[in-house]
Structure formats: structure tokens, C-alpha cells
């Protein structure tokens, strides 16, 4: 498995999570200062959903990596010669 690609994907989803969390914190701390968005609740919901999506994607990516490692280990074990008696 390409570790650079996995790291890039993890970083991408972590950045999505942090961006949404930062935006949510702005709304929650000072909602009056965000004039272009009239429905603050809807905007907060969007950011929470983005955070959940990013978290879910990281968890799924981790499952994929783990399954790939297990599959690779199984293949390596199958390729080893059987012990002789």
C-alpha cells in the first residue's frame, strides 16, 4: 500500500474536520459577526455534518489500511515454503 497516498488522504480529511470545527467555533462564539449567512443554525448543521463525514472517512480509511495489511500478511505466509520433516 502506498503510504504517501494514505498519509495524504488522512491529512486531507483531518484538515476538512479542523476547518469545519474552526468555522463552527466562530459561529458559536460570535454569530452576530457573520452577516452573509442568515440561517446560523443551518450553517452550524453543515459544519457538524462535515466534521462527522471527515471523521467517518478517516475511520473507513483506517479499516481499509488494516484489511490491506492483513491481506498482505496472509499472502506472505502462503508464499513461504512449508517446513520439511
pLDDT tens by residue, 68-79: 999 888 877 788
Within a domain: 85? no
Within a domain: 35? yes
Within a domain: 82? no
Within a domain: 84? no
Cβ neighbors of 11 (< 8 A, separation 6 or more) are none
Total domain count for the chain? 1
Within a domain: 25? yes
Average pLDDT over residues 8-35: 89
Its domain, for residue 47, covers 3-72
Longest dimension (CA), the chain: 79
Within a domain: 81? no
The confidence score (pLDDT) of residue 34 equals: 57
Within a domain: 41? yes
The confidence score (pLDDT) of residue 37 equals: 61
What is the pTM for the complete model shown? 0.77
Q: Are 62 and 1 in contact (CB under 8 A)?
A: no
Amino acid at each position: 500500500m502506498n503510504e504517501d497516498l494514505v498519509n495524504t488522504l488522512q491529512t486531507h480529511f483531518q484538515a476538512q474536520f479542523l476547518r469545519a470545527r474552526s468555522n463552527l467555533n466562530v459561529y458559536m462564539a460570535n454569530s452576530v459577526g457573520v452577516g452573509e449567512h442568515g440561517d446560523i443554525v443551518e450553517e452550524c448543521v453543515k459544519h457538524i455534518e462535515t466534521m462527522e463525514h471527515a471523521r467517518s472517512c478517516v475511520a473507513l480509511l483506517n479499516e481499509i489500511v488494516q484489511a490491506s495489511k492483513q491481506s498482505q500478511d496472509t499472502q506472505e505466509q502462503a508464499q513461504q515454503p512449508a517446513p520439511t520433516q
